[in-house]
Amino acid sequence: MVQWLIERMRNKQADRAKALEAIGEAARAELHEALADYDRFVAPARDLTDGFLLGTARSSTGEEIPIRLPWASAAAHWLVQGGTGTGKTTRVA
């Protein structure tokens, strides 16, 4: 009888919400740990603030990171490839 009363008084929805929140947090932590190698480019890309902007990349958290080529690494001749209408002329000019 006491067990039945305890089960009735307990808020099962709150328990379920807490359990789902804990599982979600554990999954996010595991994902970030698994993608740590993928995000290795973020710090060096953030540090480079001056140079030719090649484009943007997304980190594992969805943050857009600008990817730049340092001016010191620029050469006299470049090969720019891309399909028709992708903005090659606009980007280089």
- Per residue in 21-74, pLDDT tens? 999 999 988 888 888 788 888 999 999 988 888 889 988 888 899 999 888 887
CB distance 87 to 79 below 8 Å: no
Contacts of residue 38, defined as CB under 8 A and 6 or more positions apart, other chains included, come to: 59, 60
pLDDT computed for residue 76 by the predictor: 66
Mean pLDDT of 67-92: 80
pLDDT at 93 over 60: no
Instruction: Give pTM, 2 decimals.
Output: 0.49
CB distance 65 to 57 below 8 Å: yes
* Greatest pairwise CA separation for the chain in angstroms: 86
